[in-house]
Chain A
Amino acid sequence: MKSYSVRVVVVIAALALVPMQTFGQGAPDASARSAALKAVFSKGACQTELAAAVDRLQRNQEPDNQDSLTICAANAALTAAAEPGARQAVEMSRMKQVTAPSDAGGSTTVAERAALPRLLAIAIEHGAIDKAINGTTLTLTGSPYALAAAVAEGGDSPQTYQDYRVLNHIAVSASFDIGQNTDPLDSVNTDQLTDVSFRVLLTHDRSGRSATFTKQYLDAVIPALTEQAEVISGTATDILSAAPATGLPDAETLSFTEIEALKDLSQAPDTTRAKLLDVLDRRIVQPIISGQIPLTAAERTAILSAPLKFDAVADKVAKSEASLGTLVRTMGEHPEFTASFFAHRSGGKLEYSGGRGAYDQWIGKVELTANGALTIYDVPDPAKNQKKFRDVTAAFTMAAFHGDISPTSNPPTVFSFSARYQYLPEARGTSKPNKALAQVKVELPLSKGVTVPLSLTFASSPELIAGKEKTIRGQIGFTVDLDKLSAVK
């Protein structure tokens, strides 16, 4: 490794000493320039920068990386003008050092599948309380943490989250029967209250805001990002900070104006890519080779070494983000237990209350969920065959996800099996006190944000599936996720 680094420096130094006047005589033709551009933009950080710019243009966004594009194009100009042997040596050295950019997303569905962190996240995104309307039911969900974060100095920061970590283990919710009211928050009152629940997370926080996650985030990811920002801005300063009259900064501004004009032309990515490279060739590569844009020896050295530096810092960022993703996945596979107390009201009076224990765990791409609950009547009605003990229930779901679960991809296909058992003594005499239901379900993705769920349900009693006589029901649905749909270009 040591001798290899020395060789790179020697090659770069040799290239930096190539006299400017040799660019004009026997200068590389269009095919040589094209080959040099292709070579520079087909690997490592420069390849990623080009892909990022094309992607942004395709989404009608201006590229945010004109410095990197300019420096990579300038690098192509210098390598095109260099001796073939030296050029090959530089390329070989790059090939040895470059680590392919990894998927930098580090997306981790697993951690967010946990019920309480998801509720917390929702509460924080929307304020102290979140509302959800399902049919005629309005559900308000909140956490004491959200209230604490709202008044804490610094707001909802990682420090606040750690300071009030006990509170972020608690969630409360209340449901109201709102009928057909189109603006329920204006008129909702306690008479409409049907359900309340108080939930406590008994296990460690496995969310992306836990202490373990935050430590890894601050110790690994942020330093890597900082180094990348410093290296790129420092390199850009070395090459592009001089007065525009010297040429390259001017060319950069001009090329950016032309590149920005490529937005939203409804053309194929390959066409956009070719046009973008053409702009860089005309504005950066050709003027450097012809000597129209003069470069100092220091600038040439900085340009030639830039891709290596960009590769190195991009690699560090990718690795740190990947390690965080691995950590979140590992944390997400830890089991999570919650205990909750809940009460149900009917006709303005407490009808029954109870407790529930819930278990949730991911194993790879399989999510296991189980819970059990017991309820008692507040005032049993003997006329309805009720006693103090109301029922006991147990439920289990196993869901397997097939496909990419990253946010930018189409939704995965989900296969699930669910079973539910209820012992309801008051049903004795009118139906069966032991009630069971099982369901197999497949959720097929049609496109981003649109899925078709197919389910087959078996029940011990027809009333469990709203049937009159049958105990088997097949159903086809159509689900639209408006958030994901709106993200589709």
Chain B
Amino acid sequence: MTRINKLTYKVQQNERITLGISAVTVSEDGAVFAVDGHTVAPDGPPRSFTFTATRPAGQRHKGVLVATFAGLGSGATMARFETHLSGDKGGDFSGPTIFREDIVHKAELTFEVI
């Protein structure tokens, strides 16, 4: 896995990709992840999601991480979901962070198969 930008990564075909979650002052259970329209079951704790890049070379997998801060007390102003991405064929990167103060609580990821 190599990184193009915080949201876009190049991955090898059949590479297993793991999206790790670090929930800060918020329950990590409030993060869900889907790839190409299908939910990825979480592992952990710490919460993580793993899927395999199965598309042909040149095509892309689209992943969306959605998080919630619902019910969190007003004091947790710095609550956030930090992410990191890694592939079993190499590469380990910090990914996007979803902050409580964000207007939408999601991150849309792209995995280009090479």
A325, B70: Cα distance in complex, Å: 7
A112, B74: Cα distance in complex, Å: 8
A420 within 8 A of B: no
Q: Output the least CB separation between A145 and chain B (Å).
A: 15
> Is A67 a contact partner of B108 (Cβ separation < 8 A)?
yes
Task: Annotate B16-53 by CB proximity to A: 1 below 8 A, 0 otherwise.
Answer: 00000000010101101111111100000100000000
- Known interface pairs A66-B108, A104-B105. Does A109 touch B55 (Cβ–Cβ under 8 Å)? no
A406 within 8 A of B: yes
- Known interface pairs A51-B103, A112-B75, A253-B4. Does A241 touch B70 (Cβ–Cβ under 8 Å)? no
A328, B68: Cα distance in complex, Å: 15
> Is A52 a contact partner of B103 (Cβ separation < 8 A)?
yes
Q: Which of A118, A241, A328 contacts B59 (CB 8 A)?
A: A241
Q: Which of B29, B39, B55, B100 contacts A230 (CB 8 A)?
A: B39
A48 within 8 A of B: yes
> Is B4 a contact partner of A230 (Cβ separation < 8 A)?
no
A221, B106: Cα distance in complex, Å: 14
Q: Interface on chain A toward B: helix, strand, loop, or mixed SS?
A: helix
Q: Output the least CB separation between B98 and chain A (Å).
A: 7
Q: Which of A64, A68, A407 contacts B76 (CB 8 A)?
A: A407
A466 within 8 A of B: no
A111, B108: Cα distance in complex, Å: 32
A242 within 8 A of B: yes
Task: Annotate A222-252 by CB proximity to B: 1 below 8 A, 0 otherwise.
Answer: 1001101111111111001111110001001
> Is A408 a contact partner of B32 (Cβ separation < 8 A)?
no
Task: Annotate A319-354 by CB proximity to B: 1 below 8 A, 0 otherwise.
Answer: 011001101100000000000000000000000000
Q: Output the least CB separation between A72 and chain B (Å).
A: 12
Which residues in A have their C-beta under 8 angstroms from that of B110? 67, 240, 252-253
- Known interface pairs A125-B25, A229-B33. Does A237 touch B62 (Cβ–Cβ under 8 Å)? yes
A195, B23: Cα distance in complex, Å: 34
> Is A229 a contact partner of B39 (Cβ separation < 8 A)?
yes
Residue among A64, A222, A256, A407 with the highest chain B CB neighbour number at 10 A: A64
Query: Whose C-beta in chain B lies nearest to the C-beta of A54?
Result: B103
Chain B interface size band reads 35 or more
- Known interface pairs A157-B29, A230-B37, A408-B77. Does A328 touch B71 (Cβ–Cβ under 8 Å)? yes
A245, B30: Cα distance in complex, Å: 36
> Is B66 a contact partner of A225 (Cβ separation < 8 A)?
yes
A226, B59: Cα distance in complex, Å: 24
Q: Output the least CB separation between B110 and chain A (Å).
A: 7
A107 within 8 A of B: yes
A325, B36: Cα distance in complex, Å: 31
Q: Which of A49, A55, A106, A243 contacts B69 (CB 8 A)?
A: A106
A179 within 8 A of B: no
> Is A483 a contact partner of B77 (Cβ separation < 8 A)?
yes
> Is A233 a contact partner of B34 (Cβ separation < 8 A)?
yes
- Contact surface of B with A, Cβ cutoff 8 Å: 4-8, 25, 27, 29-30, 32-39, 45, 55, 58-78, 96-108, 110, 112
- Contact surface of A with B, Cβ cutoff 8 Å: 48-49, 51-52, 55-56, 59, 61-62, 64-68, 104-109, 111-112, 118, 121, 125, 154-155, 157-158, 208-209, 213, 217-218, 221-222, 225-226, 228-237, 240-245, 249, 252-253, 256-257, 260, 317, 320-321, 324-325, 327-328, 405-408, 483-484, 486-487
A-B contact list, 16 entries, CB within 8 Å: A62-B6, A67-B62, A106-B71, A108-B73, A157-B29, A213-B71, A217-B71, A229-B64, A233-B64, A241-B59, A244-B60, A256-B5, A408-B100, A487-B77, A487-B78, A487-B101
Extra 17 A-B pairs, beta carbons < 8 Å, given A157-B45, A226-B32, A407-B76:
A65-B107, A108-B72, A108-B74, A154-B45, A208-B73, A213-B71, A217-B30, A228-B66, A230-B34, A230-B38, A230-B39, A233-B37, A237-B60, A241-B55, A243-B59, A256-B5, A405-B74
Q: Nearest 5 A-B pairs (CB), nearest first?
A: A234-B37, A112-B73, A229-B34, A243-B58, A106-B70
